[in-house]
Amino acid sequence: MPASRVPNSSIPDSPVEHLTPVNQFKRDLPLFGLSVWASRFKHLLCLVFPLTTLSFLITGLFIEKAPLSIMTNLIFTVPFWSVLIADWFCPQEKAAADTQHSSLFFNAILCVLTVIQFLNVFLMLDYVALLRWDTVDNSLIGLANLIGIRFLVGTSSGTSGIVLAHELIHRENRGWQSAGRLLLCTVYYEHFVITHKRGHHLNLGMPDDIATAKLGESFKDYWRRIYIGYFKYAWQSERERVAALNSNKAGLLQNQVVQGIAVETVLLIAIVTHWGWLAAFMFLYQAWVAVRILEAVNYFQHWGLEDGQFGNTYGWVCPSWISRYALIGLSHHIGHHQDENSRFYEIPYSDQGPMLPYGYFVMNLWVKLFNDSYQKMAVRELEKYQRSPCD
């Protein structure tokens, strides 16, 4: 029978796609280029904390031109609590490396974050100098603002400034590396570069790796061990490196730890001279808060994984997409150790390790506030991972 005579009933019906309005929108996203913009928006989550902090400081210094009220201080903390809650209930996402955008887009994000970090630190000093202590009311407002500064600037420096510095010190370009070192000076932790790259990455999980938290080690004990231990390691490492290069005393100037101390000391003297002792105290206080955030992350990223006793893995797995985008790829930590020179957007997701139940923001508070509970969970997850079949 000619094809033209085939009854319509013999031709299979084309499947009819019944789309909800939401699915229709998702299907048509590429037609409008909206999928690209949606992806870009996720990467901009890293700006939430630093921009909130910057807005707080600008409001007090240039809009109100006076210390902000207690209620206004509380309002500016809302974005931080919102991200924390979102990270708690965030659905898991096994995100692949991002290849949709050019490196220019991601480098622009890094440049913006760098500028904001320096602005936040120096505007904080101006803000502290704005506070008045001549009356009881002014003293109460001043104290509330100091607490707000500690929370906002310290948290922003810990979740943006240091994380950004971590990304930059792993870049091959000397300019990026120098920017990373200067960012670490804003939290008085420049020696972290040496301890992290030489001590941690080269000796991950081995006895010489001071950064890996041991099985059963509390965060309090870990903090006491590494806060001074990092500096001692960096100092010894640089002494050996410089001695191998140059036996003259002039080689001291080549010591990166000495360079960092010099910059940080000059910075602190300048702060005391220009802004006063209270500003200097708040500068050191926000630095302490930021470093505590960093080291809490280092603590749970490798807790209990020394000597490979629970299997072959580089670290703990975090599938939270909030953590991934708000912390510029930091939560893809296993992929980072597989190739430390990868850009943050190139780092692939890996599930080859024990699983964290929450994102980095929730975990950061958990290990510091309820460490016994955290350790019980961690031991269960380590034993579960040890029993799981190897791929």
Helix (H) and strand (E) counts in the chain: 17, 0
| DSSP code string of 182-210 | HHHHTTT-TTHHHIIIIIITTTTTSTT-T
Cross-strand bridge partners of residue 355: 317
Distance CA 160, CA 289 (A): 13
Query: Which single residue is written with the structure tokens 């019980």?
Result: 376
Residue among 196, 368, 204 at smallest CA distance from 289:
368
> Across residues 198-221, what is the average pLDDT?
89
Give a yes or no: residue 255 inside a domain: yes
Per-residue pLDDT tens for 122-141?
Answer: 999 999 999 999 999 999 99
pLDDT of residue 296: 98
Considering the domain boundaries, does residue 324 fall inside one?
yes
Q: Determine the average pLDDT of the residues in 305-323.
A: 86
Question: For residue 155, which of 293, 298, 54 has the smallest C-alpha distance?
Answer: 293
> Mean pLDDT over residues 229-243, rounded?
93
27: in domain: no
pLDDT bracket for residue 328 (50, 70, 90): very high
**Spatial distance between the Cα atoms of 289 and 148, rounded to a whole number of angstroms:** 13
What are 287's two structure tokens?
Answer: 């630095």
Q: What are phi and psi of 282, to 5 degrees?
A: -65, -35
**With 50 as the cut, is the pLDDT of residue 51 above it?**
yes
Mean pLDDT of 27-31: 47
Q: Is the pLDDT of residue 84 over 80?
A: yes
Copy the structure tokens of residue 28.
């048509």
How far apart (Å, rounded) are the C-alpha atoms in residues 124 and 194?
28
What are the C-alpha distances in Å from 193 to residues 33, 121, 170, 301? 40, 20, 9, 18
For 60-81, what is the mean pLDDT? 97
**pLDDT above 70: residue 100:** no
Query: Mapping DSSP to helix (H, G, I), strand (E, B) and coil, where does residue 92 land?
Result: strand
The domain in which residue 288 lies consists of 47-87+95-387
* Confidence bin at 297 (pLDDT 50/70/90): very high
Q: What per-residue confidence (pLDDT) applies to 244?
A: 84
Position 56 in a domain = yes
Confidence of residue 154 (pLDDT cuts 50, 70, 90): very high
Average pLDDT on 360-383 reads 97
Q: How far is CA 17 from CA 23, 27, 162, 163, 384, in A?
A: 11, 12, 49, 45, 42
Least confident of 15-24, 233-242, 305-314: 15-24
Q: Is residue 10 one of the residues assigned to a domain?
A: no
Q: If pLDDT is split at 50, 70 and 90, which confidence band does 12 have? A: very low
Instruction: Domain count for the chain, please give it.
Output: 1
Per-residue pLDDT, averaged over 337-355, amounts to 89
> Cα(345)–Cα(101) distance, rounded to whole angstroms?
9
Question: Which has more pLDDT, 35 or 284?
Answer: 284
- Report whether 113 contacts 184 (CB < 8 A): no
Q: What is the rounded distance in angstroms from the CA atom of residue 359 to the CA atom of residue 11?
A: 53
Q: What residues pair up with 320 in beta bridges, in sequence order? A: 92
Q: Residue 85's CB: how many other CB atoms inside 10 A?
A: 13
Rounded mean pLDDT of 303-311?
82
Q: Are 305 and 212 in contact (CB under 8 A)?
A: yes
Q: With 70 as the cut, is the pLDDT of residue 293 above it? A: yes
Within a domain: residue 170? Answer: yes
Task: For residues 138-145, give the mean pLDDT.
Answer: 97
User: What pLDDT band is residue 14 in, cutting at 50, 70 and 90?
Assistant: very low
Establish if 37 belongs to a structural domain: no
Q: If you average pLDDT over each of 204-208, 341-345, 379-383, which comes out highest?
A: 379-383
Q: Which of 140, 47, 72, 93 is nearest to 317 (CA)?
A: 93
Closest listed residue to residue 191, CA positions, set 291, 120, 279, 124: 291
Decide if 284 is inside a domain.
yes
Cβ burial of 88 (10 Å; 0-12, 13-18, 19+) is middle
Contacts with 29 (C-beta within 8 Å, 6 or more apart), sequence order: 35, 38
Q: What mean pLDDT value characterizes the chain? A: 88
Residue 99 has pLDDT above 70, yes or no: no
Tally Cβ neighbours within 10 Å of residue 93.
15
pLDDT higher than threshold 70 for residue 252 = yes
- What is the pLDDT at residue 98? 61
Confidence class of residue 248 from pLDDT cuts 50, 70 and 90? low
What local confidence, expressed as pLDDT, does residue 250 receive? Answer: 59
Q: What is the mean pLDDT of residues 255-278?
A: 97
Number of residues assigned to the chain? 391
DSSP string, 311-355: -S-SS-B--BHHHHHHTTTTT-HHHHHH-TTS-TTTPPP---SPB
Amino acid (one-letter) located at 77: T
Model confidence over 171-207: pLDDT tens digits? 999 999 999 999 999 999 999 999 999 989 888 877 7
**pLDDT over threshold 50, residue 8:** no
pLDDT tier, 96 (very low <50, low <70, confident <90, very high otherwise): low
Q: Say whether pLDDT at 3 is over 50.
A: no
Decide: pTM greater than 0.95.
no
